[in-house]
Amino acid sequence: MDNHVESGNLTDPQLMHSDPHQIDEQELGTNDDDKEAELSAESKLKLINARDYIKQLSETKFKVVVETIQPGIVNPGLMAGMDVRSLSLLSRIYVGSINFEITEQHIRKVFTEFGFIKHISMSSDPLTGRHKGFGFVEYDVPESANMALEAMDGTMLGGRQLKVGRPNNYSAAIACILVPPPDERIFVANVNEAVTETDLESIFSSFGPVKKCILAPNMQTRGHKGYGFIEYESAEIATLSISAMNGFNLGNMVLRVRKCVVGGPLGDGMSALASLPVMVIPETLLSNINAPANPPSSNEPNPQQQQQQHSNSLASINGQTDSYFGGILRLENVCDVDEVDSDLPQDIFEESTKFGPVTQVFVSKLSANDGFGERVIVFVEYEKKESANDANKVFDGRWFGGRQLRASVTSRQTLASETKTLLCRYPS
């Protein structure tokens, strides 16, 4: 376990932001004015230019990240522009000492009580075909991971005592929290699917005025994901509601309530579903409801047809078709080869969708025979060229997982030639 996790008893993220040497704002402003008065005319001009440049960045490059968040996102960390890899680490827990008869489905059923699960990774033994007794669970938001760690470490499951902890690079991710969580905000999980935002607000407003109450929408099912955030007018009310409502039975489900881990703006909640188009069932589909369940075998493509389809796919990837309207973004300096895991393409996929629909993310390895050494290249394929261009403006020079990315828009020919040693992809 030592190779995978850090101790579960970590300092609270909120305490990481406290500064015992904090200076009063008025005093700070006075000191700055005094320092500026001592500057030469040339130095003052440079200072003015630097401030103008920072203002331009805030209004252009940084603003793009916030404005291009896809509808339905309520993760405060993402809304604040936090590095997606660091946010992923904060949302991930290690689960060890798992009974070999326990399956991934069992783990999902137990741990989904603390929030929406994005991914479960359980390494398998190639000889036995069974898992190795440990795995990783990644949630939508860091609050779920904290909650699961606090509740499940040491819990008996299948006759064995679970060991729940953090990935070994969790401490570095803590330092990447851009905005400390507001004391007035709480996190609520394990919410019954029949409970609405209005219902939740009515219940929690019993402790005091609620400024905002949102549930995380599931843009596929058009329901909610079972968790949300509530923001009060004061920290005292928030603390009181946590004490009173954590463990409260609502709709035969036990609510999980705690303070937040990451700060940042909240999304629109369930109102984001209004942006989805109305689902219309085609008449041809309705007319086939009573059709035979198994279509005639003559409709299946013969080997010649399958070979032709394969040839068409190869021609498409090499740019030999004229009907391609997508765009390819090429990323360098993402990570080292030995740091690539199955979560990397998914993390990049989710970050890239801020700029438009993504078809595929490829992670490949280039050999050292080009004079640059062995390195990882990531390709993001967008449905539209405009999306790739917009993403390139933000990704190029941006910091990702402690590295400064190099981004460029490239061709499908480059994609085909540089993905011969493919490490992983998403969707797989």
Q: Hey, where are the domains in the chain?
A: 5-10+77-174, 25-67, 185-273, 327-426
CA dist., res. 155 & res. 164, Å (int): 9
What is the number of alpha carbons within 13 Å of residue 424 lying toward its C-beta?
A: 15
Assess whether pLDDT exceeds 50 at residue 3.
Answer: no
Assess whether pLDDT exceeds 90 at residue 13.
Answer: no
C-alpha angle 95-96-99 in degrees, rounded to nearest 5? 110
The pLDDT value recorded for residue 241 is: 97
Task: Note whether 84 and 347 are within 8 A (CB).
Answer: yes
Once rounded to an integer, what is the mean pLDDT over residues 402-425? 88
Assess whether pLDDT exceeds 70 at residue 255.
Answer: yes
Assess whether pLDDT exceeds 80 at residue 294.
Answer: no
Phi, psi at residue 166, to the nearest 5°? -110, 155
Task: Report the chain's mean pLDDT, rounded to a whole number.
Answer: 79
Closest by CA to 91, choosing from 209, 174, 1, is 174
What is the number of alpha carbons within 13 Å of residue 344 lying toward its C-beta?
A: 23
The CATH number of domain 327-426 is 3.40.1160.10: no
5-10+77-174 shares its CATH topology with 185-273:
yes
CA dist., res. 209 & res. 152, Å (int): 32
The pLDDT value recorded for residue 123 is: 82
* Of the listed ranges 15-19, 87-91, 156-160, 267-271, the one predicted with least confidence: 15-19
**CATH T-level assignment (fold) for domain 185-273:** Alpha-Beta Plaits (3.30.70)
Once rounded to an integer, what is the mean pLDDT over residues 265-277? 85
Assess whether pLDDT exceeds 60 at residue 6.
Answer: no
Assess whether pLDDT exceeds 60 at residue 309.
Answer: no
Q: What is the CATH number of domain 5-10+77-174?
A: 3.30.70.330
Closest by CA to 425, choosing from 367, 344, 328, is 344
* 152-185 per-position pLDDT tens digit: 999 999 899 999 999 888 888 888 888 899 999 9
Phi, psi at residue 4, to the nearest 5°? -115, -25
